[in-house]
Amino acid sequence: MTAPIQSQTPDAATARPRFPEILLPAAMDVVLVLIFAASGRGSHHEGMTLAGLWETAWPFLAALALSWLAARVWLRPSAILRSGLPVWIGTVALGMILRVLLTAGSAPIAFVVVASTVLGVFLLGWRAVWALIRRARNPKTRAASVQPTR
């Protein structure tokens, strides 16, 4: 008796993303953290210099990188729960810790709330939009969603 032949090509659910499929989500996260830092500097009328932006952003960028590593985000970079949630929580929590310990010395509760909200909308939001786009482009999901229920 012979064993059933298994497909040599992995299906989309188990295939590991290639480098370009990891680079775009990573770049998206980095750009959104930079936008968060720039908008914070702008709303507090701080100078918009490269050095100033770096001073504000680096704790959150370092936290983002650590979160990507800890959660192994490269395996499913656009997944909301598997990747987005740990990236968001890690970026906020570790970013605040680094900011308090190494730069600002404090984190007022209003800043923690605003940073948590903005980074949540950014880091989870693009993943949610991406999921909606993928769902809309997938003919199987689209057909299933328009089938009448009996």
Any domain includes 45: yes
Which H/E stretch holds residue 23?
helix 19-43
Q: In terms of residue numbers, what domain contains 93?
A: 19-136
Number of structural domains the chain divides into: 1
11 falls within a domain = no
Which runs of consecutive H residues, i.e. helices, occur in the chain? 19-43, 50-71, 85-102, 109-137, 139-146
pLDDT of residue 76: 94
> How do the pLDDT tens digits run along the chain, 150 residues long?
555 444 444 455 556 778 888 999 999 999 999 999 999 887 766 777 888 889 989 999 999 999 999 999 999 999 999 999 999 999 999 999 999 999 878 888 999 999 999 999 999 999 999 999 989 988 775 555 555 555
- Examine residue 113 and state whether it is found in any structural domain, yes or no: yes
Residue 41, domain member (yes or no): yes
Whether 142 is covered by a domain: the verdict is: no
Q: Confirm whether 30 is domain-assigned.
A: yes
The pLDDT of residue 8? 47
In this structure, is residue 116 part of a structural domain? yes
Q: What is the pLDDT, as a whole number, of residue 2?
A: 53
Q: Is residue 141 part of a domain?
A: no
How far is the C-alpha of 79 from the C-alpha of 64, rounded, in Å? Answer: 16
Q: Describe the crossing of helices 109-137 and 139-146 by its angle, rounded to 10 degrees.
A: 90
| Spatial contact of 78 and 130, defined as CB atoms under 8 Å apart | yes
